[in-house]
Amino acid sequence: MGQALVEAALANQDVALAAALDVAQSPLAGRDAGERIGQRTGVVVGSDVDAALAASDVLVDFTRPDGTLAFAAACARRGKGLVAGTTGLSAAQKAALAAHARAVPIVFAPNMSVGVNVVVRLVELAAQRLGPGYDIEIVEMHHRHKVDAPSGTALRLGEAAAAATGTTLAASGVYAREGVTGERRPGTIGFATLRGGDVVGEHTVIFATAGERVEITHKASSRQTFAAGALRAARFVAQRLAEGRPGLYDMADVLGLA
């Protein structure tokens, strides 16, 4: 994602690449941020967050939960905006992120793809209109290196479906089936997680009833779709920062879907 973001930033004239961060032991440390995509940027990959923020307005983060919270704290301390696409945050970590958003604008979304966030709205509409007679199942697949399951996007789709049917994912989510499980409990939302190869990300929400099945699917073939969405979020954050409007936002706010 870092390389995809560098490439996207260089392709957009209204965005300036001011800094690039990685862990100190990264093989990219000390090298030009555009080296792997064959472009020279003049920006050297480093690990000093404060130095990076001093040169920037918005930090775009795709790391791990602990890293995201450290970046959020640094942004709040320095009055900078944050776009966070990290998944796997616990409820306590999300609450901590929201606390930092009282000081600065933060866009937090498990998936920055414009298409996925439109799909979330479609899932809400389908769940509302189809009603309780349709069983809801969510199938997702990602590359073999992904560390969390189900994906943050799958959970977000599940949350949308649950809210639209008057329940919560905590009450209705089913994440594993094995052995003699008995028949499907009405009102549940099932998840199936697949991992393999280099799949960027695929999600399907299935609404099944007697005689028909409705499927809403999103397939990402390139990380550039996430990078493009992240830049839209960065522009949104920069505007909120200029207006002095802190808060915790998501991609629905960025896209005007809220």
- Of 142, 145, 218, 219, the catalytic one is 142
pTM for this prediction: 0.80
**Chunked mean pLDDT (size 10), the chain, 258 residues:** 92 94 92 92 95 96 95 98 93 97 96 92 97 97 95 94 97 96 96 97 97 97 92 97 97 89
- Tell me what pLDDT residue 54 has: 96
In whole angstroms, how large is the CA radius of gyration of the chain?
A: 19
- Tell me what pLDDT residue 58 has: 98
- Write out the H or E segment, with its range, that includes residue 66: helix 65-78
Looking at the structure, tell me whether residues 76 and 123 fall in a common domain.
no
Looking at the structure, tell me whether residues 67 and 146 fall in a common domain.
no
Looking at the structure, tell me whether residues 169 and 211 fall in a common domain.
yes
Query: Do residues 151 and 201 touch, judged by C-beta distance below 8 A?
Result: yes
Q: Which of 117, 160, 128 is nearest to 256 (CA)?
A: 117
Range of the domain at 138: 114-220
Measured distance between the N- and C-terminal CA atoms of the chain, rounded to whole angstroms: 26
Q: Clarify whether 203 is annotated catalytic.
A: no
Rounded to an integer, what distance in angstroms lies between the CA atom of residue 189 and that of residue 213?
15
- Find how far residue 26's CA is from the centre of its chain: 23
Query: Can you give 27-55 as a three-state secondary structure string?
Result: CCCCCECCHHHCCCCCCEEECCHHHHHHC
Looking at the structure, tell me whether residues 84 and 153 fall in a common domain.
no
Indicate the number of domains in the chain.
Answer: 2
Q: What is the CATH number of the domain that holds 19?
A: 3.40.50.720
- Tell me what pLDDT residue 88 has: 86
Looking at the structure, tell me whether residues 108 and 6 fall in a common domain.
yes
Looking at the structure, tell me whether residues 9 and 99 fall in a common domain.
yes
- Tell me what pLDDT residue 223 has: 87
The secondary structure of 161-184 as a DSSP string is HHHHTT--HHHHEE----SS--SP
Q: Clarify whether 100 is annotated catalytic.
A: no
- Of 146, 203, 218, 219, the catalytic one is 146
Looking at the structure, tell me whether residues 96 and 140 fall in a common domain.
no
